[in-house]
Amino acid sequence: MSLGRKLLVGLPVLVLLALVAVSFVYLGRGGSSVAPSALIGQSAPQFDLAGYDAEHPGLSDVDLRQGSVTLVNVFGSWCVPCIAELPQLRALAEEHGVTIHAIAWKDKPEKMAQVFAEHGNPFRRIGMDNDGRAAIAWGISGVPETFVVAGDGTVLYRHLGDIRPEHIPVLLSVIAEAQKQ
């Protein structure tokens, strides 16, 4: 076999190896199958939701333009990771003074009450998204998702999935950055 021929035969193998290497690197990163939110840098979408109870009134985009940084957490009492992140949300609200609002995606108040009784309720306002329309406006692909919204209503950051203790520093730095603006 000539050298050229050898190279030619070896080429598909090399291409395959290159593909494997690229896939290996990208798959290892995790979460890369989900595109970044299209909303980053834009103002929060228009929405207006009824409240959960007297202490947790409804949520609309106007509430996100009150001059201070807010977190918007898309929540479901039937969603296990949403419950798992409640302690982290409480830490953000209670220890760091972050205002967190919730969009309850297709949820029942009685089910939510059970979860809050057991795990606490870190939310200032809770909007009941009964028909899932606000979730579509926010481009939600699953719960939980958490958005950092600047005081003028600009969406700055999205966290996909549950917030674990190791995510807190990143969120706090995004919030701190947002407060400077």
Smallest distance, other proteins to C-beta of residue 65, A: 19
Report if residue 135 touches other proteins, rule: CB under 8 A: yes
Yes or no: say if 69 and 96 are a contact pair by the CB < 8 Å rule: no
DSSP run (H or E) holding 73? strand 70-75
Among 48, 53, 94, 131, binds other proteins (CB under 8 A): 131
Smallest distance, other proteins to C-beta of residue 109, A: 19
Q: Could you tell me whether strands 48-51 and 59-60 are parallel, antiparallel, or unpaired per DSSP bridges?
A: antiparallel
Number of residues located near other proteins, criterion CB under 8 A: 24
User: 127 to each of 48, 85, 105, 117, how far by Cα in Å?
Assistant: 8, 19, 9, 18
CA–CA separation, 74 vs 72, rounded Å?
7
* Interface segment toward other proteins; rule CB under 8 A; list 29-37, 67-75, 84-92, 118-126: 29-37
DSSP run (H or E) holding 88? helix 86-96
Among 3, 5, 24, 117, binds other proteins (CB under 8 A): 5
CA–CA separation, 145 vs 128, rounded Å?
15
Smallest distance, other proteins to C-beta of residue 37, A: 7
Beta carbon nearer to other proteins, 43 or 68 = 43
Report if residue 17 touches other proteins, rule: CB under 8 A: no
* Interface segment toward other proteins; rule CB under 8 A; list 33-41, 46-54, 94-102, 150-158: 33-41
* Interface segment toward other proteins; rule CB under 8 A; list 27-35, 46-54, 88-96, 147-155: 27-35
CA–CA separation, 96 vs 16, rounded Å?
50
Q: Identify the bridge partners of residue 74 per DSSP, sorted by sequence position.
A: 103, 145
Interface ranges with other proteins (CB under 8 A): 5, 8, 11-12, 33-39, 45, 106, 131-133, 135-142
